[in-house]
Structure 1
Amino acid sequence: MKSALALVGITLLTGTSLVVTAASASAAPPAPTPPSLQAAADTALKTHTAAVRGSTKDAYAVYSSKTDSTGLGVTRYTRTYNGLRVYGGDLIIRTTKDGGFAGSSVGLAAPLSLDTSPAYAQSKARKAATAGFKGKVTSTGKPELFVDASSGTGRLAWETVVTGWAPDGQTPSKLHVIVDAGTGAAIGSYDEIEQVVGSGTGIYTGTVDVDATQSGSSYSLVDPSHGSGRTCDMGNRTSGTCATFTDADNVWGTGANSDRASAAVDAHYGAATTFDYFTNVHGRNGIFGNGTGVPSRVHYGSAYVNAFWDGAQMTYGDGEGNARPLVAIDVAGHEMSHGVTENVVPGGLTYSGESGGLNEATSDIFGNMVEFYADNATDPGDYDIGEKIDIFGTGEPLRYMYNPTLDGASHSCWSTSTRSVDVHYSSGVANHFFFNLAEGSGETEYGTSPLCGAASPVTGIGRDKAEKIWFRALDTYFVSNTAYVNTTTPANTARAYSLSAATDLYGLCSPEFKAVQSAWNSVNVAGTDNDDCVANNFSAAASPTSLSVDPGDSATTTLSTTVVAGEAEEVTFSATGLPAGVSVAFDPASVTAGGETTATISTTDAVGSGSYPLTLVATSPSVARTVTVTLTVNGLPGCDSSTVANLPIGDNTTIESTIVISGCEATPSTVSTVTVDIDHTWIGDLVVSLIAPDGTAYVLHNREGGSADNIKKTFPPVNLSGETANGAWKLRVQDAAAQDTGKLNSWGLTL
Structure 2
Amino acid sequence: MRRALALACTTLLASSCAAVAATSASAAPPPTPSASLPAQATAALQRHQAAVEGSPQDRYTVYSSKKDARGNGVVRYTRTHQGLRVYGGDIVVRVDARGEFTGSSSGLAAPLSLSVTPKVGAARARAAAERAFSGKVTSVGAPELFIDAGAGTPVLAWETVVKGWAKDGQTPSRLHVVTDAATNAVRGSFDEIETVDGTGNSIYSGTVHLDTTASGSGYSLVDSEHGNGRTCDLNNGTSTCTTFTDADNVWGTGTNADRASAAVDAHFGAATTFRYFREVHGRNGIFGTGAGVPSRVHYGNAYVNAFWDGSQMTYGDGSGNAKPLVALDVAGHEMSHGVTENVIPGGLTYSGESGGLNEATSDIFGSMVEFYAGTGSDPGDYDIGEKIDIRGTGAPLRYMYNPALDGVSQGCWSTSTNNVDVHYSSGVANHFFFDLAEGTGATAYGTSPVCGSADPVVGIGRDKAERIWFRALDTYFVSNTRYVNTATPGNTARAHTLAAAADLYGLCGTEYKTVQAAWTAVNVAGTDYCPTGDDFSLATSPATATIDRGQTLTTTLSTTVTNGTAETIALTATGTPPGVTVSFSPAEITAGESATVTVSTPDTLGTGSYPLTLTGTSPSVAHSTQLTLTVRSPEGCTGADDTDVAIPDNTTVTSTVAISGCTITPSSTSAVEVHIVHTYIGDLVVSLVAPDGTAYTLHSRAGGSTDNIDQTYAVNLSGEAPDGTWTLRVQDAASIDTGYINSWKLSL
Sort the TM-score into its range (normalised by shorter chain).
Answer: 0.5 to 0.7
Amino acid at match of 2:123: S
Equivalent pair of 1:508/1:535 in contact (CA under 8 Å): no
SS in 1 for 2:226: coil
2:613 is the counterpart of 1:618: yes
Q: Which runs of 5+ in 1 are unaligned?
A: 1-33, 539-562, 576-582, 591-615, 628-751
* Match in the other structure for 2:160: 160
Distance verdict in 2 for CA 1:69–1:565, change over 3 Å: farther
| Residues 157, 179 of structure 2: 8 Å contact kept | yes
Asked if the contact 2:616–2:624 (Cα under 8 Å) also holds between the matched residues in 1, the reply is no
Give the aligned residue type for 2:614: T
| SS of 1:474 mapped into structure 2 | helix
Is the CA contact 1:137–1:162 (under 8 Å) kept in the aligned structure 2? yes
SS in 2 for 1:252: coil
- Inter-partner Cα distance in structure 2 for 1:214 and 1:139: 41
Residue 314 of structure 2 corresponds to residue 319 of structure 1:
no
Question: Which structure 2 residues correspond to residues 422-437 of structure 1 after superposition, within 5 A?
Answer: 422-437=421-436
1:6-45 correspondence to structure 2 within 5 Å: 36-45=36-45
1:343 alignment counterpart: 342
SS at match of 1:64: strand
Distance, in Å, in 1 between the alignment partners of 2:245 and 2:615 is: 66
> Residue 339 of structure 1 aligns to a residue in which SS?
helix
The 2-side partners of 1:373 and 1:409 are apart by 29
- Distance across 1 between alignment mates of 2:170 and 2:68: 42
* Cα distance, 1:305 vs structure 2: 2.1
Cα 1:573–1:419 change in 2 (3 A) is: farther
Cα pair distance change 1:624/1:373, threshold 3 Å: same
Q: Write out aligned runs for 1:489-500 (5 A).
A: 489-500=488-499
Instruction: For residue 139 of structure 1, report the CA deviation from its aligned partner.
Output: 1.4
Q: Given the alignment of the two structures, is residue 302 of structure 1 paired with residue 301 of structure 2, yes or no?
A: yes
Query: Are 2:210 and 1:203 equivalent residues in the alignment?
Result: no
Is the Cα–Cα contact under 8 Å of residues 334 and 364 in structure 1 kept in the other structure? yes
Q: Secondary structure at the match of 2:225?
A: coil
Residues 136 and 572 (structure 1 numbering): CA distance in 2 closer, same or farther, change over 3 Å?
farther
Between 88-97 and 213-222, report the one with greater CA deviation: 213-222
Match of 1:660 in 2: none
Contact 2:537–2:559 (CA under 8 A) maintained in structure 1: no
CA distance in 2: counterparts of 1:368 and 1:139, whole angstroms: 38
Structure-1 separation of matches of 2:133 and 2:296: 26
So what's the TM-score if we normalise by structure 1? 0.68
Residue in structure 2 matched with residue 143 of structure 1 by the alignment: 143
Aligned to 2:21: none
Change (3 A) 1:140 1:331: same
Distance 1:409 1:170, change over 3 A: farther
* 1:725-736 alignment, distance < 5 Å: none
Task: Give the corresponding residue for 2:472.
Answer: 473
Relative to 1, partners in 2 of residues 1:585 and 1:370: Cα closer, same or farther, differing over 3 Å? farther
- Contact 1:508/1:565 (<8 A) preserved: no
* CA shift for structure 1 position 619: 2.6
- What per-residue deviation string (whole Å, max 9, x for no partner) do you get for residues 598-654 of structure 1? xxxxxxxxxxxxxxxxxx983366974499xxxxxxxxxxxxxxxxxxxxxxxxxxx
Q: State the shift of 1:35 in Å.
A: 9.6
Change (3 A) 1:115 1:222: same
For residues 188 and 460 of structure 2, the distance between their equivalents in structure 1, rounded to whole angstroms, comes to: 38
In the TM superposition, 1:207-222 aligns within 5 A as 207-222=207-222
2:256–2:322 contact (8 Å) kept in structure 1: yes
Q: How far, CA to CA, are the matches of 2:582 and 2:423 in structure 1?
A: 46
Q: Secondary structure at the match of 1:416?
A: coil
Alpha-carbon displacement from aligned partner over 1:227-284 (angstroms, at most 9, x marks no partner): 10000111122x2211111111111000001111101000000111111100100011
- Give the drift of 1:352: 1.3
State the 1:302 CA deviation.
2.1
Q: Which residue of 1 aligns with 2:184?
A: 184
Aligned to 2:550: none
In 1: Cα distance, 2:175 partner to 2:262 partner? 29
State how far apart, in whole Å, the 1-side matches of 2:559 and 2:349 are. Answer: 24
Aligned to 1:14: none
Mapped to 1, the partners of 2:240 and 2:385 lie a distance apart of 28
Cα offset, 1:311, TM superposition: 0.5
Write out aligned runs for 1:364-383 (5 A).
364-383=363-382
Aligned match of 1:736: none
What does residue 51 of structure 1 align with? 51
For residues 281-306 of structure 1, give each alpha carbon's deviation from its aligned partner in whole angstroms, at most 9, with x where no partner exists.
00111111111100001111222222
Q: Which runs of 5+ in 2 are unaligned?
A: 1-33, 541-557, 562-570, 584-610, 627-748
CA contact (8 A) 2:432 2:518 kept: yes
| Matching of residues 135-534 of structure 1 within 5 Å | 135-197=135-197, 203-237=203-237, 239-532=238-531, 534=536
Mapped to 1, the partners of 2:150 and 2:580 lie a distance apart of 28
CA RMSD of aligned residues (A): 2.7
Shift of 1:564: 14
Larger RCO, structure (CA 8 Å, separation 6 or more): 2
Aligned equivalents of 1:106, 1:572: Cα separation in 2: 30
Matched AA of 2:212: A
Separation in structure 1 between the aligned mates of residue 559 and residue 123 of structure 2, nearest angstrom: 46
Distance 1:39 1:358 in 2: 31
Letter in 2 for 1:619: L
Partners of 2:386 and 2:572 in 1: CA distance: 55
> After superposition, what is the alpha-carbon deviation per residue over 1:287-344, rounded to whole angstroms, capped at 9, x for unaligned?
1111110000111122222221110001111122222211111111111111111110
Relative to structure 1, the CA distance from residue 309 to residue 573 in structure 2 (aligned partners, 3 Å threshold; closer, same or farther) is farther
Query: How far apart are the structure 1 equivalents of 2:536 and 2:81?
Result: 37
Matching of residues 632-647 of structure 1 within 5 Å = none
Moved more, 528-537 or 174-183: 528-537
Shift of 1:524: 0.9
Residues 166 and 173, structure 1, Cα contact 8 Å, conserved in 2: yes
Partner of 1:108: 108
Shift of 1:195: 2.4
Letter in 2 for 1:281: V
Q: How big is the shift at 1:79?
A: 0.4
Paired AA for residue 259 in structure 2: R
Aligned-residue sequence identity (percent) comes to 69
The 2-side partners of 1:51 and 1:572 are apart by 24
Shift of residue 163, structure 1, vs aligned partner: 1.5
Residues 1:35 and 1:391: Cα distance change in structure 2 (over 3 Å): closer
TM-score, normalised via structure 2 length: 0.68
| Alignment of 1:88 onto 2:88 | yes
The answer to which of 351-360 and 80-89 deviates more is: 351-360
SS in 1 for 2:207: strand
Which range moves more in the overlay, 368-377 or 396-405?
396-405
**Distance in 2, Cα, partners of 1:234 & 1:322:** 13
DSSP-derived class of the 1:104 partner: strand
| Aligned partners of 2:139 and 2:163 also within 8 Å | yes
- Measure the CA separation in 2 of the matches of 1:235 and 1:564: 66
Residue identity in the other structure for 1:402: Y
- Equivalent-residue separation in structure 2 for 1:219 and 1:626 (angstroms): 64
Partners of 1:305 and 1:391 within 8 A in 2: no
Report the counterpart of residue 632 of structure 1 in structure 2: none
- DSSP-derived class of the 1:97 partner: coil
**Kept in 1: contact 2:536–2:559 (CA 8 A):** no
Code of the residue aligned with 1:137 in structure 2: it is V
Superposed CA offset, 1:46-81 (max 9, x none): 000000111110011000011111221000000000
Structure 2 CA distance, aligned partners of 1:69 and 1:452?
38
For residues 35 and 588 of structure 1, the distance between their equivalents in structure 2, rounded to whole angstroms, comes to 40
Kindly tell me the number of residue pairs found equivalent between the two proteins.
531
* CA distance in 1: counterparts of 2:457 and 2:560, whole angstroms: 23
| Structure-1 separation of matches of 2:249 and 2:291 | 23
Contact between 1:617 and 1:625, CA under 8 Å: does it hold in 2?
Answer: no
The structural deviation recorded for 1:41 is: 0.2
- What is the CA distance between 1:193 and its match in structure 2? 1.9
Q: CA deviation at 1:134?
A: 1.6
Amino acid at match of 1:215: S
